[in-house]
Amino acid sequence: MSTLTAQHRPVAGMLWMFSAGMSFVVMTALVKSLGSSMDPTQAAFLRFAFGLIFLLPALRLMLKTHLTRNHIVLLGTRGVVHAFAVMLWFFSMTQIPLAEVTAMNYMTPVYVTLGAALFLGEKLAIRRIAAIGVALVGVLIILRPGFREISLGHITMLGTALTLGGSYLIAKVLVRDLPPSVVVAHMSIWVTIALIPFAIAVWTTPSLRDLGVLFLVASFATAGHYFMTIALKAAPVAVTQPVTFLQLIWATLLGALVFNESIDIWVVAGGTVILLAVSFIAWREAVLNRSSLTTPSIAPKL
C-alpha cells in the first residue's frame, strides 16, 4: 500500500508506470499461453516458487527485522488469503478473455477502500461512496447480467479482486511496523508454502516449455512491481494511476491478435468506468492531502 507524498517528477512517474503496466500485461499473456497444459494451481505454485529467487536481495533485511507473534500471525494469514487470490486468478485466466481479467482486476482498490472503512476506521466521504457506486456500475457493464451468460471465470475473477483486497488490507496494517520490502518478501514465502498442498494434489510433471514460461512470468511480475515502486516514488498515485488504463488497451489487443479473442466494447467501457472511479478517489485524496487514508492503486499484485 502507498500513501500520497509530495513528488515533483510526474512525467518520470507516468513512464515508469507505463513500463509496469507493460510488464504486468506480458505476465498475464504468458499465463494465458499456458492454456490447459498445466493445472492453474500448480502453475500458481511454480510462479511463486520461481519468484523466491528474486527475494535474495531482501534476505539480509528480513533476517535483521524483529517479528512479534502478531506479525507472524498477520503475515501467515495474508499468505493464505493471497494464495487463494492467486489460485482464483490463474483459474480465471483459463476461462475468460485477457481484457475481462484486466478490467475486473480494477475492482481490487474499490474493495480495499471499502475494507479500510469497515475494518480500519477510515472515513468514507460521500465522494468516495459515489465513486464506489460508479465502479460497481462498471462491473455491471462488463458482466451484463441478463444479457449474456456469467461464467465461472467471471465469478472467480470477482473473488480474485475481493481476496486481493483483503490481502492488501492486512499489508496496510503490517507496514505500520515493518519495512514494505520485508512485508512483500514474506508474502512470497508464505504464499509459496500455502500453495504446496494444493499443488501436490494436482501435480503432473511440467514440460521444460512450461517451466520456462513460468520463470518468465515470475520475472515480469517482479519487474512490474519494481517499476511500479519507482513510479510511486516519482509521482503520486493520482498522477500515475490514469496511465494504467493502457493495460486494458494492451490486454485487449493481445487477446485479439495473439489469442483470437473478440474485442468486446462493453468490457472496455466497463473497465474504463471502473478506472475513472478509482482515479477520482486518488485525485480527491491528493487534493485534500489526506495521506493517512488508503490511496487506491490498480496495478495487479500477483
pTM value?
0.86
Identify the pLDDT of residue 113. Answer: 83
Identify the pLDDT of residue 266. Answer: 94
Assign 295 to helix, strand or coil. strand
User: Which one, of 244, 193, 194, lies nearest residue 22 by Cα?
Assistant: 244
Identify the pLDDT of residue 87. Answer: 96
Q: Which span out of 53-62, 173-182, 206-215 was modeled with the highest average pLDDT? A: 206-215
- Cell, residue 266: 462493453
Identity of residue 91: F
User: Which one, of 119, 47, 29, lies nearest residue 83 by Cα?
Assistant: 47
- Cell, residue 270: 466497463
Q: Domain-by-domain residue ranges, the chain? A: 10-288
Distance of alpha carbon 95 from alpha carbon 141, whole angstroms: 19
Rounded alpha-carbon distances, angstroms, from residue 237 to 18, 54, 94, 149, 296: 13, 25, 31, 35, 8
pLDDT at 289 over 80: no
pLDDT at 278 over 80: yes
Assign 5 to helix, strand or coil. coil
pLDDT band per the 50, 70, 90 thresholds, residue 166: very high
Distance of alpha carbon 199 from alpha carbon 50, whole angstroms: 14
